[in-house]
Amino acid sequence: MPIILAIPADNQGNKLWIKSLRTDGDQSFVQFKSTYNDVGWREAGLYPADGGVNIVITGDDGTVLFRFNKLWIDKLK
C-alpha cells in the first residue's frame, strides 16, 4: 500500500497530498493533488529551493505551486 502524505498548504486547513516518489537520473518526481481544487493526481518534478532547505513543485510555466520542507520527502523513501 503506498504512503500518501498530507502536508499543510496554508493556515486555513488546505492540504497538499503527495505520493509515489520516483527518480529518473538526478531528477525526482511525485504525484500530487491538493484540497484547493478537484483536479486528480498529477505528476510533477521536485526542485530544491531556499538553499536546499525546501522543495518546490512548479506548474508547466515554472510558477511555484507548492513549497514545503525537504524533510517531508524523507517520509516517502
Compute CA 42 distance to the chain's CA centroid, rounded to the nearest angstrom: 10
Contact 45, 26 (CB under 8 A): no
Q: What is the pLDDT of residue 2?
A: 84
Q: What is the pLDDT of residue 77?
A: 83
Return the domain boundaries, the chain.
Answer: 4-74
Give me 49's grid cell: 529551493
Q: 39 vs 25, 27, 32, 48, CA distance in Å?
A: 28, 24, 10, 25
| Cα–Cα dist 39/53, whole Å | 28
Q: What is the pTM for the complete model shown?
A: 0.87
Q: What is the pLDDT of residue 31?
A: 97
Longest distance between any two alpha carbons in the chain, whole Å = 37
Q: What is the pLDDT of residue 1?
A: 76
Ranges of residues in the chain with a pLDDT under 70 are none
Q: What is the pLDDT of residue 26?
A: 94
Q: What is the pLDDT of residue 17?
A: 97
